[in-house]
């Protein structure tokens, strides 16, 4: 049990255990070993989390924003100081190579804490002159917020939700994915060490039922979910029962459109990043790569050549560029999509197997001659499987790119900037890139349209989703009553 935490939950400033809950085995995807056993939150644990969050929130909201920010900033500094240790834990939890977890996961979480620490004191209301009278607005916290995470970027997701929630004066109860429960507990410890009062960031473990118990509680004012579209629909509906605020960061099948005039090396590099980073387990991945006919064969040849050079192997080795999938179930699901694509007549360019690195690997895989009707072009695989589709005209590429229920992200590669902006304007997606892909700095809003969700994380836009406006009309003279 090389990663066994002190207890399963972190509630009211301390670790909390209740072994009456159903066990959750934490498995290292690099070799299938059980590295920790945790227990699902029982009703007693859930109640303790809700009660302490409710109790702590008012005093936290009453602090000066600069004081709240100082604590978040301290947490960001601790994360950076402990970068190597945290990356190691993230790799144990997810199987993603340390080459990634050292630079992408916790560091991005630290950026969010630093950003919202600085932003908190700048959030103010407005005044409205009304002649003799006037009015003003106050931006108030929502209260107790629930964060529910996915397993692909567990610690980053916890930080992206906690940072704006806490900065705006809310408390947060976070339920990590049952597949990757470890990082959020470490974040709770770090917050404590940074001086966050007890109860403001509680972590409770469990599967869907624990999440749904939290969402249903009357003390909860807001739910922010990162997960699949199916779960999003259920959680959104449950939140609606209590008229709760929601942020839904859901799945995608995003288009990456590459025109003939694009830089071949850049387009190939971006398509690889958009499909193979984190072994393809990234919600905003550009998994439908539309390549214009004139470039297609050169693109495929160079893509196969560069993909053959990817270093797969031990996730703990800093030289490793490509790790296993998060679980045996995910490996099986992805292999099922590969078999389906072959059966539907897509042309396998490279990969398709499990390789020989051990653990839950699936090789970086590319299919060409994919058509819009194939399952591979319609469903989110969440694995390292790139579908290359060809197109002839700009209008055709745009209309085919938009023909999906999803709308999380989109990318365009071209040397023609007028075309780049025109195409992006026509694409139905919340988060877009021109001649880049999958860069998500905290300064930029992140989120989807259509089936991919509602609300935005990161940037100033997140303030809207973790606070509400109170309007105050101030009468300055006698009351003018007609009776
Ligand atoms: P999932 O939907 O299976 O689970 C997400 C979380 O919801 C888990 O913590 C799970 O326990 C919880 N949950 C399940 N049922 C619930 C219910 N009824 N009520 C409350 N909570 C419930 O997703 P996953 O397999 O963990 O993650 C992969 C998915 O997440 C992919 O679809 C991916 O695209 C998406 N994702 C989106 C983003 C984004 O920012 N848009 C980021 C990462 C992952």
> Residue of the nearest CA to atom 4 in ligand 1?
227
**Phi, psi for 23 (deg, rounded to 5):** -70, 150
Ligand 1, residues at Cβ distance < 6 Å: 148-152, 175, 177-178, 207-208, 211-212, 215, 226-228, 231, 234-235, 249-252, 283, 380, 382, 408, 448, 453
**Rounded mean pLDDT, 66-71:** 98
> Residue of the nearest CA to atom 22 in ligand 1?
208
Q: pLDDT tens digit string along 287-336?
A: 999 999 999 999 999 999 999 999 999 999 999 999 999 999 999 999 99
**Rounded mean pLDDT, 459-472:** 98
CA distances from 443 to 171, 348, 392, 428 (A): 23, 39, 35, 22
Strand partners, 147: 174, 224
Q: Is the pLDDT of residue 362 over 90?
A: yes
CA of 328 to the centre of ligand 1 (A): 17
Task: Please state the atom number of ligand 1 nearest to the C-alpha of residue 252.
Answer: 34
- Under 8 Å between Cβ of 216 and 241: yes
> Residue of the nearest CA to atom 16 in ligand 1?
208
Q: pLDDT tens digit string along 104-131?
A: 999 999 999 999 999 999 999 999 999 9
Strand partners, 472: 136
Q: What is the pLDDT of residue 422?
A: 98
- Under 8 Å between Cβ of 153 and 176: no
Task: Please state the atom number of ligand 1 nearest to the C-alpha of residue 453.
Answer: 41
Q: How confident is the model at residue 1 (pLDDT cuts 50, 70, 90)?
A: confident
- Under 8 Å between Cβ of 466 and 170: yes
Q: How many angstroms separate the CA atoms of 14 and 196, rounded?
A: 12
> Residue of the nearest CA to atom 41 in ligand 1?
249
- Under 8 Å between Cβ of 381 and 280: yes
CA of 461 to the centre of ligand 1 (A): 22
> Residue of the nearest CA to atom 26 in ligand 1?
150
Q: Please compute, for residue 142, the number of CA atoms within 13 A of its CA located in the half-sphere on the CB side.
A: 26
Q: What is the sign of the dihedral through the CA atoms of 431, 435, 441 and 443?
A: negative
> Residue of the nearest CA to atom 15 in ligand 1?
208
**Rounded mean pLDDT, 227-253:** 98
Ligand 1 binding pocket mutation candidate from 180, 227, 283, 410 (most atoms within 8 A of CB) = 227
Ligand 1 binding pocket mutation candidate from 154, 207, 228 (most atoms within 8 A of CB) = 228
Q: Which residue has the tokens 């790799």?
A: 91
Q: How confident is the model at residue 143 (pLDDT cuts 50, 70, 90)?
A: very high
Q: What is the sign of the dihedral through the CA atoms of 182, 244, 457 and 11?
A: negative
Q: What is the pLDDT of residue 447?
A: 98
Average pLDDT, the chain: 98
pTM above 0.85, yes or no: yes
**Phi, psi for 131 (deg, rounded to 5):** 75, -120
Percent of the chain with pLDDT over 90: 99
Ligand 1 binding pocket mutation candidate from 150, 222, 238 (most atoms within 8 A of CB) = 150
CA of 221 to the centre of ligand 1 (A): 20
CA of 420 to the centre of ligand 1 (A): 32
Which residues have a catalytic role annotated?
161, 249, 283, 457
Task: Please state the atom number of ligand 1 nearest to the C-alpha of residue 175.
Answer: 9
Return the exposure string of 5-38: e unless at least 16 CB atoms fall within 10 Å of the residue's CB, then b: bebbbbbbbeebebeebeebebbbbbeeeebbeb
Q: What is the pLDDT of residue 357?
A: 86
CA of 156 to the centre of ligand 1 (A): 14
CA of 394 to the centre of ligand 1 (A): 34
Q: Is the pLDDT of residue 358 over 90?
A: no
CA of 161 to the centre of ligand 1 (A): 14
């Amino acid at each position: 049990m090389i990663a066994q935490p002190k207890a399963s939950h972190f509630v009211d400033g301390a670790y909390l255990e209740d072994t009456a809950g159903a066990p959750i085995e934490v498995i290292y995807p690099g070799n299938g070993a059980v590295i920790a056993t945790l227990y699902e939150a029982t009703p007693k644990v859930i109640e303790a989390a809700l009660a302490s969050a409710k109790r702590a929130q008012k005093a936290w909201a009453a602090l000066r924003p600069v004081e709240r920010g100082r604590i978040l900033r301290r947490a960001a500094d601790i994360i950076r100081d402990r970068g190597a240790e945290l990356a190691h834990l993230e790799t144990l939890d997810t199987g993603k190579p340390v080459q990634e977890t050292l630079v992408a996961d916790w560091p991005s979480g630290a950026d969010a804490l630093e950003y919202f620490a600085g932003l908190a004191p700048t959030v103010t209301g407005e005044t409205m002159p009304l002649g003799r009278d006037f009015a003003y607005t106050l931006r108030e916290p929502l209260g107790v917020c629930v964060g529910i995470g996915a397993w692909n970027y567990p610690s980053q997701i916890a930080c992206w939700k906690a940072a704006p929630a806490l900065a705006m004066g809310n408390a947060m109860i976070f339920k990590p994915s049952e597949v990757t429960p470890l990082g959020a507990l470490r974040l709770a410890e770090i917050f404590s060490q940074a001086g966050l009062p007890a109860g403001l960031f509680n972590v409770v473990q469990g599967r869907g039922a624990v999440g749904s118990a939290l969402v249903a509680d009357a003390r909860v004012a807001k739910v922010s979910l990162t997960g699949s579209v199916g779960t999003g629909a259920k959680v959104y509906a449950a939140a609606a029962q209590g008229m709760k605020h929601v942020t839904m960061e859901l799945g995608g099948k995003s288009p990456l459109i590459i025109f003939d005039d694009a830089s071949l090396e850049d387009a190939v590099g971006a398509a690889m990043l958009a499909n193979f980073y984190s072994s393809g387990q990234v919600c905003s991945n550009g998994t439908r790569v539309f390549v214009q006919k004139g470039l297609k064969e050169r693109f495929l040849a160079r893509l196969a050549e560069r993909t053959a050079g990817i270093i797969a192997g031990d996730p703990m080795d800093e030289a490793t560029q490509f790790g296993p999938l998060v679980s045996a179930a995910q490996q099986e699901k992805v292999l099922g999509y590969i078999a389906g694509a072959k059966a539907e007549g897509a042309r396998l360019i490279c990969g398709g197997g499990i390789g020989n690195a051990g653990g839950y690997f699936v090789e970086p895989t590319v299919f060409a001659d994919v058509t819009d009707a194939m399952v591979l072009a319609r469903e989110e695989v969440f694995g390292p499987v790139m579908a290359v589709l060809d197109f002839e005209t700009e209008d055709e590429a745009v209309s085919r790119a938009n023909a999906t229920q999803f709308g999380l992200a989109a990318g365009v590669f071209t040397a023609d900037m007028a075309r780049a902006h025109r195409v992006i304007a026509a694409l139905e997606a919340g988060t877009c890139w021109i001649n880049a892909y999958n860069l998500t700095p905290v300064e930029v809003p992140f989120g989807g349209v259509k089936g991919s969700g509602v609300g935005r994380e990161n940037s100033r836009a997140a303030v809207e989703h973790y606070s509400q406006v109170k309007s105050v009309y101030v009468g300055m003279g006698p009351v003018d009553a007609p009776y």
